Chain A
């Protein structure tokens, strides 16, 4: 079966750095997506990786290793508004997105 694993919840301090990991086992791979979802709102797109390596976008970076079935989302200079759930999703061989259950990130002052 297809599976996406990410931690259920993480806590970090304002101004710090946090890394959210995602491991996956899917039938085929056509890219990995990270989305942010604030409570009661829709998911919003953060990043896309299809090749191995690091993609940097402001305070957020995303890393992919296809051979290890692994990705992480790195958030720097954490702000209170970063408190949200972060969703990892893999596009499989049928071009359908398989979603993890999400990681709830709690930022403390």
Chain B
């Protein structure tokens, strides 16, 4: 089934722990994105990648890192989680960086 998958669906994490959120797409899209969504705020871009092998910082990159080793996968890592990183995280992809973005189902992360 074509689309974007994210794992895990939800996670409760102790502060200070390392966590990697996984994102995989099978649409052969060049561009991929990580957003966080918090109540009352618009989606905020964390990191993006316009093509495999390249990454860029979005609006709120601090505390997060990404890698893009191939076209399909775009993992997001929290090196040392803090409670302010409690949020819903969405991965998205688009054919090119200028095109419509399509979203994965999201990961609900709680940091205690």
Question: How many residues of B are in contact with the other chain, CB < 8 A?
Answer: 19
* A33 and B42 form a contact (CB under 8 A): no
Q: A48-B100, A96-B45, A96-B48 are in contact. Are A42 and B58 (CB under 8 A)?
A: no
Give the interface SS of chain A, mostly helix, strand, loop or mixed.
Answer: strand
Within 8 A of B (CB), among A44-89: 44-45, 48, 87, 89
**Which residue of chain A has the shortest Cβ distance to B41 in the bound complex?**
A101
Contacts A33-B100, A42-B105, A43-B103 given: A96-B40 contact, CB under 8 Å?
no
Contact in complex: A97, B98 (CB < 8 Å) = no
Q: Are B45 and A102 touching (Cβ within 8 A)? A: no
A43 touches B98 (CB 8 A): no
- Given A33-B100, A102-B42, also A42-B106 (CB < 8 A): yes
Q: Which residues of A contact B104 (CB under 8 A)?
A: 42
Contacts of B41 in A (CB 8 A): 101
* Residue contact A44 to B103, C-beta cutoff 8 Å: yes
A-B contact count (CB 8 A): 42
Q: Chain B residues with Cβ under 8 A from A30's Cβ?
A: 98
Distance A43 CA – B33 CA, assembled complex (angstroms): 14
Residues of the B chain whose Cβ atoms lie less than 8 Å from the Cβ of A96: 45, 48, 58-59
Looking at the assembled complex, report how far the CB atom of A46 sits from the nearest CB atom of chain B, in whole angstroms.
10
Establish whether residues A100 and B42, one from each chain, have CB atoms under 8 Å apart when the complex forms: yes
B102 x A45 contact (CB < 8 A): yes
Q: Say whether, besides A42-B103, A96-B58, A91 and B98 are in contact (CB < 8 Å).
A: yes
29 cross-chain CB contacts under 8 A: A4-B42, A33-B100, A33-B101, A41-B105, A42-B90, A42-B104, A42-B106, A43-B43, A43-B103, A45-B100, A45-B102, A48-B100, A87-B42, A89-B42, A89-B43, A91-B98, A95-B97, A95-B98, A96-B58, A96-B59, A97-B43, A97-B45, A98-B42, A99-B43, A99-B44, A101-B40, A101-B41, A101-B42, A102-B42
Chain B residues in the interface with A (C-beta under 8 A): 40-45, 48, 58-59, 90, 97-98, 100-106
